[in-house]
Amino acid sequence: MIRHVLHSVREMESLGEAFGQALAPGCVVGLSGDLGSGKTAFVRGLARGVGSGSRVHSPTFALLHEYEGGRCPVHHLDLYRLAGAAEVRAAGLEDYLVRPRGITAVEWVERWEEPLPGMKRLRFRWIDDGTREVMDDMPGA
């Protein structure tokens, strides 16, 4: 595990951008952590790192946002409102997880409840009002 300590939204976006530059199409990035811990800011940077000029915002109420442009599409899912894998399937989101055609970033990935081989996992945590911690399993990324 690699630990990142970030002191601003800008630093969180920069971390996401670095990941976006390193990720290949077909990758799923699972994001876990409390509300407000930086997951959407990370995805904003990730999309920028892929080369998308799209405006990134939380898909909590839409469940999915797609960002085109750049070297591949970024699919941004938020499973917060779903109770488990059956609801994810019913919402038509399973293919984004098991057969991504671009890069899929999934907030609240633990709601999926099933293994996703090869998924990159990031855990976000509040330290204090201005500081966040991100633990990742992505050595070299």
Q: What is the mean predicted confidence (pLDDT) over 119-140? A: 86
Q: Are 12 and 131 in contact (CB under 8 A)?
A: no
How far apart are alpha carbons 19 and 29 in whole angstroms?
Answer: 10
Does residue 48 sit in helix, strand or coil?
A: helix
116 CB-contact burial (10 Å; exposed 0-12 / middle 13-18 / buried 19+): middle
Q: Which strands make up the sheet holding 28-33, listed edge to edge? A: 2-6, 131-136, 120-128, 28-33, 103-107, 74-78, 64-67
Q: What is the pLDDT of residues 13-62, one digit of tens each?
A: 999 999 999 999 999 999 999 988 999 999 999 999 999 988 898 877 88
Query: Band of the pLDDT at 138, cuts 50, 70, 90?
Result: low
Does residue 45 sit in helix, strand or coil?
A: helix
Q: What is the pLDDT of residues 86-122, one digit of tens each?
A: 999 999 999 999 999 999 999 999 999 888 888 999 9
Identify the pLDDT of residue 60. Answer: 77
Query: Band of the pLDDT at 139, cuts 50, 70, 90?
Result: very low
Q: Which residues sit opposite 64 in a β-bridge?
A: 77
The answer, as to whether pTM is greater than 0.85, is yes
How far apart are alpha carbons 81 and 90 in whole angstroms?
Answer: 13
The amino acid that residue 34 corresponds to is D
Q: What is the mean predicted confidence (pLDDT) over 57-81? A: 91
Q: Per-domain residue ranges for the chain? A: 2-136
Q: Are 40 and 57 in contact (CB under 8 A)?
A: yes
Does residue 95 sit in helix, strand or coil?
A: helix
CATH 3.10.180.10 fits 2-136, yes or no: no
Say yes or no to pLDDT of 141 above 50.
no
